[in-house]
Each structure stands twice: as C-alpha cells, then as structure tokens.
Amino acid sequence: MKTQTRVASGQPTVITYDNQVMAESASSPLRRVIEAPFTRRAWTELGYTLASFWLALAAVVLIIPMLLNGVLWAASAGPVRWFARLARILARELLGEDIPAPPPIGPALLRTKVATPDAASAATLAGAAVAAGGKARPWETKPGLTLKKLPLERIEELAAATAVSITIEQPPNAFGNWYGTRAFDPVAWRARSYFGLKLPLAVLGLAVIAACWLGGLFCLTFPAWWTLGLGTAFGMPSLASSFAFLPLGLALLLAGPWLTHGLIEGDRWLIRGLLGPGLAAARISVLEQTRAHAVDDSAARLRGIERDLHDGTQAQLVAVAMKLGLAQEKLAETGEVDLARVAQLVTDAHQGALEAIADLRILARGIHPPVLDNGLADALATLANRSAVPVELVTDIPGRPSAAIETIAYFSAAELLTNVARHSRARHATLEAVHVTGLLRVRVTDDGAGGAQPVTGGGLRGLAERVRTVDGRIEVDSPVGGPTTVTVELPSHA
Amino acid sequence: MRIVIAEDSAVIRAGLTELLTDRGHQIVAAVGDADALLAAVAAEEPDVAIVDVRMPPDHTDEGLRAAIAIRRAHPGTGILVFSQYVETRYAADLLRMGSGGIGYLLKDRVANVAEFADAIARVAAGGTALDPEVVTGLLTATRHTAVLDALTPRERDVLALMAEGRSNGAIADRFAVSERAVEKHISNIFAKLGLPPSDSDHRRVLAVLAFLNER
C-alpha cells in the first residue's frame, strides 16, 4: 500500500490510502466497462443526479424572483445558504465530497456617519478607526466621515482618545446592518451562481438518464414491446427486425454510467469552487490550524526542555552539591579525617559534574545545533556522520535559506534519519538536500522494510505538521517491502 | 531517626540516602512515586518523610498531595517537602493544615549539609522549617501590604526568620542582639499585626503565615 501525505498551501492535509484505486485498475478495462452499470457507484450517482435535480430546480425557483432588487437579495441570503447546505449534504452523503462549510453571515456592518469640525480631525479619526480594525471613508462635501465595522461606543472612545469632537449624524441602524451583511453576502452569491450553473447540468443529467437508462432498457426489451403492437410506430415491420434495437440498447446502458459520472465530475468541480469557504477563507482556516500547531509545538518544546533540565542537569548538580557538601563537612570534622571517604565523595561529585556537562551539551544541541550557523550543508554532514546507518550525503545548496527554514530542514532530516535507524532495518540510506529557486528539498531514501505511515502522534505526522506551518509539504512513499522515500519541500524563506 | 525518602530522581535519592545514613539516620524506605510513598509510610511509621513535589506519573504536585494525605492519616510523621522551585501556593496549602512538623525546602539547600540536617531535626521534633525563599515568596504574595508596611525593616527581618521556624535565640544570634530585644520586636510585630502573643514556637509561625496568606 502506498501512502501519501501532501501538504500544499491553501489545502488541508490529505492522506489517501490508494490501495483501492490500485485494485480497481488491476482489472481489465473491458471488464470495468461491462460491470459499470452494476457497481454501487453507478447507483449512488444515479440517485444523486435525480435528487440534486429537484434541489437545483427548487433553488432556482426561489432565486430567480428574488433577484429583482437588493432587499430581496438580502432576504434570500439565508434561504440560499440553506439550499447550499442541502447541496453540500447531498454531495457528502452520496458522492463522498466533503466540503467544509463556509463562514456564517458576516458581523454587523455598523455603518455610522460622523461629522467632525474640520477635515484634519476627520483624517485623524479615520486613522484611529482603521487602526482599530474598522473602515473609514471621509466625506467630500463637508468635514466628516462614514465609518464601518465599529460599534458606537468604540467610535466615541476613539474620538475621545484622539481629542476629536464628533457629532453622530447617523448611528448604525438595524436595517443597514441587516442589508449590508446579507445583500452582498459573497457566500450566498457564490451559491446562487452554483445553482444557476447546476440546473442546466442537472437537466442534462436527467436527459442522460432518460436516454441511456430508460431508452436502453426500452431498446433491450423492444421485441416484447413489438409483440404488444408498438413496433409499427417505430417502423419495424417484423419481430425479427425488432431485434436490431438490442445492440443499441446495450450500448446505451453501458454508456449511461460513464456519462452520468462525467457530468458529476463537473458538478464536483462546481461544488468545490462555489459551495466551499472560498479560497481566502480556506487559506485563513489553514493558517489558523498551522498557527495553533506552531504555538502548541513551541509550548511542548519548552515543556520538554524544562523537563530535561529538571530531571537531568538540575538533579545531577544537586547531587554534586550534596556530595561536595558532605565532603566539606568531613574535612571540617575535628579529630581524624576519613580521607578515603572524602576522596570517594569528591570523585563521585566530579563524575556527576561531567555527566551534567554532557547532558547540557546534548540539550543545547537539541535547542539549536551550533553547526547550523555554518550553513545547512555542514549541519547535514554532521548529522549524516552521526547516523547509526551508513548515509550517503548529496547536497547542492547555493545561497542560504532563512534561518527558520534551515532549522526545520535540519530537524526534519534528523527525524527521518532517526526513523531509518530505528524502524526501517535499512543497511544504507541517502540524504539529499537541494536548493533551487525558492525551494529547499530534503529527501531521505533507505533500502529498508518500508511500510512507513504517518500515524497520529507519530514522528512523521509531527513532521508533517511542523513543515505545514511554513507552507511546506511532505511526501511519503513507502510500499511494504521498501524502499522508503520521504521528501520534504520547504519554501526558502518563511 | 527513621526516615522515608520519596524522590523520582535516582541520583538525588541515592545522594540523600548517603548523606542521611552518614549522619546516623536510618533510611527505612527510598521510593520514586507517591503511591509507594503512602505505602511505605503506612508500613514503617517513620519519624520524617522527605517528599519531592514533582513525581511520576504527571510530574505536577503528586508529592504535595501525598504529603497532605500523610498528614491526615499519620499526624505524628514529620513531613519535609522538597522542591526545585518555590511555589508559594504549595507552601500555603501545607501550612494551612497546621499543627507543625512541616518543612518546605528548596533542593539546593541540601548542599549545606549542616543546615539541612538541622531542618530535618526541627521537622521531626514537630517544628517548622521553611526555606528563606519560600518565606520571601509568602511575604510578597500577601496583599495585606498596608499592615506589613507598618513594620520596621528589622521587624520584617525578624518576622521572616520567625516564619522560617527559627527560635528567639537563633534570631538573636543572627542579628547579634540580646534575646530580650528579639522578644520585644516580636511583641511589637504581634501588636502591629493584631495577633495575640503565644508561647509555642511553631504555632506563632503558623499564625503569622496564615495571617499573611489569608488576607
């Protein structure tokens, strides 16, 4: 089984286990054509075509009269979104097309008209309003401005803070808020265009079903219809000649599922483009996820470092201090000093101090490997030398990627080489790092057992999450039996 | 003295065992987690239990919770809580249980072997041993600064030493003054804080700390 994790900008992580596709392609094309009408897919697609036609028809019947004016646009935004939701549910349940819901209707518009004593103070207030996350448009005819997205109290605060005396000419009103957010709701407008394009597609889908499924069945059973006296209507003089329709019926029945499937592919494309959150919103959602991960990741790293310090170095040093304290006390004792015992304590303390130093060195390297300061190529060479499995190193890194990218590339390589040593039973590995226009590619290949999978909580998944925070991507190709290739691609600057 | 040690770091556990054995104490059990500690205390009824605050499985405040459980089940066992950080909340939790025989020390203090041994002896005798940093933390943590501001710098110093569990004699030695002068400071402190004087060493400490902490 081949497993791929693709992380591309603007797209959530998609992990496909494509053993099913491989099994399908293994059977002969002819067999697939013959079996097509009897597969589960053909029946669900048939069901989807019928159901989605009625949905699109109902939506268009609602939408068309509501296109008359802006107030009707605003009034129909909610119902249109509701129809879009039904279409998403239908696509998810029958086509497995899981589209994330778009964001809800935007926050209140809060359009406020504010008069100011002069144009300069209007500009001051406009600056403060934009800095506070609002929108401001100065008037042309007299001093004042129209503000959006800021509640009245906030505007008064800003005016007080910038020492501008204001007169509210028109406070935000409920109708303005309702109209402003709904009439131009981009989600509703995209949904309207979806249904506008979908309806012809759905009519076509119905025609295909009528022609191929019903027509096909009719042709296949034509001799029976002929005996019922329908034959003459189709210009078939004899029962024998009516069998001429059979090949046509067969061809129609076989073509039907493929035509339906083709139309549905078009529909999927429309659904993805028009019923989802939109490109900007999808990008925001990815950024939110990766930022949350970056924050969690750095917190977890700090916690790990603290734990290492607490359990390792700090404990070691406390023990050293304890032994030295005891030795000091022995030396201060009156009477005969047990020098052998003191010597033993000092030796133990010395040993403990050495261990603490070694612990600290490992810890510091885990935080930031000093060799990375000399460039990624040197750092990767050190890494390759340290690996338990022999590693062949290929680097071509002209110019320097930004420090964050070098660090991520280094730790990715370290993690991948550790995986090779730990899990793959490989005898040989290759570490390749290439830097070409704006892209740094790190690839680790081994001749081990393969079957590597990005499981939740595992190293590969953690790596994918970290790489994703800088819009990078990771691809794992690890069939059972090997070889394994893991490729990490990072933008040079992030 | 019969002592139980609960400390998850093997290095420190071994060090403590060596140090205390060297001073003639008997280590009846040295364990690495809170459950083993509770079992050991129940089985051995030691004079003192030395307890690390952070222990497996969660490395948060397992030791402290075990200490509170020990105090409930075996009030006669002195408890010396041992931590790498000053956590005034932990100290306050412990002290709120009252009745003495309680200590809270930073791990660093073991380097000063004599003072450490002294702290154990005080806890075993039913007294108090608080780390100076813990005391400072408790004093700063208090929001009742108006009353503390009324104290002279010397009175504050005396209060801090009292809170550590020092006797009047020890405080007098520290400042090179007579014991009578210390007693005078203490009665001034009690008067300014509105506490009735008492003759029991640890009770006055607990009263002071409870006062500082509760407000």
- The DSSP line for A278-346 is HHHHHHHHHHHHHHHHHHHHHHHHHHHHHHHIIIIIIHHHHHHHHHHHHHHHHHH-SS---HHHHHHHH
**Backbone φ and ψ of B184, nearest 5°:** -65, -45
Tokens 């042309």 locate to A140
- Does residue A398 have a cis bond before it (omega within 30 degrees)? no
Helix (H, G, I), strand (E, B) or coil at A474: strand
Beta-carbon separation of A315 and B22 below 8 A: no
Residue A16 pLDDT level (bands cut at 50, 70, 90): very low
Q: Which residues in A423-449 are b (16+ Cβ under 10 Å) and which e?
A: ebebeebbbbbebeeeebbbbbbbbbb
A58, two tokens: 């109902």
B22 touches chain A (CB under 8 A): yes
Give the distance from residue B187's alpha carbon to the nearest chain A alpha carbon, in angstroms.
38
If residue B65 lies in a helix (H) or strand (E), which one and from where to where? Answer: helix B62-73
For chain B, which domains are there?
Answer: 1-131 (3.40.50.2300), 142-215 (1.10.10.10)
Task: Name every residue whose Cβ is closer than 8 Å to that of residue A4 and which is 6 or more positions away in sequence.
Answer: A15, A16, A18, A475, A476, A477
Distances (CA, A) of B26 to A217, B19, B29, B76, B116: 96, 11, 9, 17, 16
Asked if the C-beta of B18 comes within 8 angstroms of chain A's C-beta atoms, the answer is yes
A137-171, pLDDT tens digit by residue? 888 888 888 888 888 888 888 888 888 888 888 88
pLDDT tens readout for residues A232-284: 666 666 777 777 778 888 888 888 888 999 999 999 999 988 888 877 777 88
Q: Does the distance separating the beta carbons of A329 and B11 come in below 8 Å?
A: no
CB-CB contact of A167 with A115 (8 Å): yes
- H/E element, B64: helix B62-73
Name residues whose C-beta falls within 8 Å of residue A324's C-beta, 6 or more positions apart in sequence: A345, A346, A349, B111
Instruction: Give CB contacts under 8 A, 24+ apart, made by A280-287.
Output: A281/A102, A281/A103, A282/A10, A282/A11, A282/A100, A283/A9, A283/A10, A285/A12, A285/A100, A286/A9, A286/A10, A286/A11, A286/A12, A286/A468
Mutate to test the interface with B, among A310, A311, A318 (most CBs of B within 10 A): A318
Task: State mean pLDDT over A415-423.
Answer: 87
pLDDT the model gives residue A111: 84
Cβ neighbours of B113 in A, within 8 Å: 322, 325-326, 328-329
Amino acid B198: pLDDT: 56
Q: Does B129 touch chain A (CB under 8 A)?
A: no
The answer to whether the Cβ–Cβ distance between A325 and B84 falls below 8 Å is: no
Q: How much is the pLDDT for A20?
A: 35
Task: Output the pLDDT for position A80.
Answer: 92
Q: Which pLDDT belongs to residue A419?
A: 86
Q: Specify the pLDDT at position A272.
A: 87
The structure's pTM equals: 0.54
Q: How confident is the model at residue A413 (pLDDT cuts 50, 70, 90)?
A: very high
**pLDDT confidence of A7, banded at 50, 70, 90?**
very low
Which candidate from B19, B54, B108 shows the least CB-CB separation from A326? B19
| Neighbour-count burial of A488, counting CB atoms closer than 10 A to its CB (0-12 exposed, 13-18 middle, 19+ buried) | buried
Specify the pLDDT at position A457: 62
Predicted pLDDT at B56: 82
| Contacting residues of B for A322, CB less than 8 Å apart | 12, 15-16, 18-19, 110-111, 113
Please report, in angstroms and rounded to a whole number, the separation of the first and last CA atoms in chain B: 38
pLDDT digits (tens, 9 = 90+) for A316-347: 898 999 999 889 888 988 888 888 999 999 99
Contacts of B115 in chain A (CB under 8 A): none
pLDDT digits (tens, 9 = 90+) for A444-491: 999 888 888 776 667 788 888 888 888 898 998 888 887 899 999 999
Strands A429-436 and A439-446: antiparallel
The mean pLDDT value for A380-390 works out to 88
pLDDT-derived band at A8 (thresholds 50, 70, 90) equals: very low
Q: Collapse the DSSP code of B169 into the 3-class scheme (helix H, G, I; strand E, B; otherwise coil) and give the result.
A: helix
**Would the pLDDT of A9 be above 50?**
no
The count of residues in chain A is 494
- Collapsing DSSP to helix, strand or coil, B123 comes out as helix
| Residue ranges of chain B with per-residue pLDDT less than 50 | 214-215
Q: Name every chain B residue with its beta carbon within 8 A of the beta carbon of A321.
A: 108, 110-111
The torsion defined by the Cα of A247, A252, A257 and A263, in degrees rounded to 10, comes to: 150
Q: Is A329 on the interface with B (CB under 8 A)?
A: yes
The residue written with tokens 């025989």 in the block is B101
Average pLDDT, chain A: 84
Tokens 């070691």, located at residue? A316
pLDDT above 60 (res A23):
no
- Collapsing DSSP to helix, strand or coil, A441 comes out as strand
The pLDDT value given to residue A201? 93
Among A307, A310, A325, select the one facing B111 at the smallest CB separation: A325
Percent of chain A with pLDDT over 90: 24
The region, left, alpha or beta by phi > 0 then psi within -120 to 50, assigned to residue A278 is left
pLDDT tens string A386-397:
888 899 999 999
The Cα-based distances of A365 to A237, A361, A370, A410 in angstroms read 92, 6, 7, 12
> What is the model's pLDDT at position A445?
93
Identify the pLDDT of residue B147. Answer: 64
Question: In chain A, helix, strand, coil percent, each to 5?
Answer: 65, 10, 25
Query: Cβ neighbours of residue A27 under 8 Å, at least 6 residues apart?
Result: none
What is the Cα gyration radius of chain B? 17
Residues facing residue B3 across a β-bridge: B27, B48
Give the pLDDT of residue A27: 59
* B22 vs A314, A321, A326: nearest CB: A326
Comparing A174 with A2, the larger pLDDT belongs to A174
Q: Are B84 and B112 in contact (CB under 8 A)?
A: no
CA B73 to chain centre: 19
